[in-house]
């Protein structure tokens, strides 16, 4: 008798669960729009790549550089003024005004990471000198970070 009562209870619970309305699955999250740092990195790398012949565009290196710039921007908290300036650049020379408004500490951090990144790539490839454009990761401007070679005298990327 006890088994029959338990079976009836289980049946009742199943019926209740089936009869209850189920919550619909939440809609998929909307794609995340690019941040100002994403857009600034894209613009900087685009200006660097534009200086290279189309056949020499290093996709993996460009993607790594784009990530490095985005991370520096996010971690260092680049100002809206700096990111807007960088987003607007079409060629590396356009970055000169951006470098003037970017604090020296942020430029130093970017230059340090770019130099470390280019050194890691050079160590990974015996032909690194033929793979990289002249002037290092800045695409030949001679300025670490591709910020147009400005800054204060003695500061990486400027005055020399």
Task: Report the pLDDT value the prediction gives residue 47, as an integer from 0 to 100.
Answer: 92
DSSP conformation class of 20:
S
Task: Report the pLDDT value the prediction gives residue 7, as an integer from 0 to 100.
Answer: 57
Task: Report the pLDDT value the prediction gives residue 156, as an integer from 0 to 100.
Answer: 37
d(CA 146, CA 96): 9
Among residues 76, 77, 70, which one has the least CA distance to residue 38?
A: 70
Predicted TM-score (pTM) of the model is 0.60
Q: What is the mean pLDDT of each run of 10 residues along the chain (160 residues)?
A: 56 55 73 92 91 78 93 97 96 92 95 86 51 36 45 37
CB 11 within 8 A of CB 18: no
Other beta carbons within 10 Å of 107:
25
Q: Tokens representing 118?
A: 């280019």
């Amino acid at each position: 008798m006890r088994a029959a009562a338990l079976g009836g209870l289980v049946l009742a619970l199943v019926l209740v669960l089936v009869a209850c309305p189920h919550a619909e699955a939440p809609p998929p999250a909307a794609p995340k729009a690019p941040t100002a740092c994403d857009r600034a990195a894209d613009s900087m790398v685009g200006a660097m790549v534009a200086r290279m012949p189309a056949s020499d565009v290093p996709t993996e290196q460009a993607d790594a550089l784009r990530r490095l710039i985005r991370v520096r921007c996010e971690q260092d908290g680049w100002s809206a003024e700096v990111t807007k300036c960088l987003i607007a650049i079409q060629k590396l020379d356009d970055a000169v005004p951006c470098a003037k408004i970017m604090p020296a500490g942020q430029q130093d951090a970017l230059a340090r990471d770019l130099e470390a990144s280019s050194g890691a790539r050079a160590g990974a490839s015996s032909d690194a000198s033929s793979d990289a454009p002249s002037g290092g990761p800045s695409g030949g401007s001679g300025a670490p970070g591709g910020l147009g070679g400005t800054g204060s005298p003695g500061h990486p990327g400027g005055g020399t």
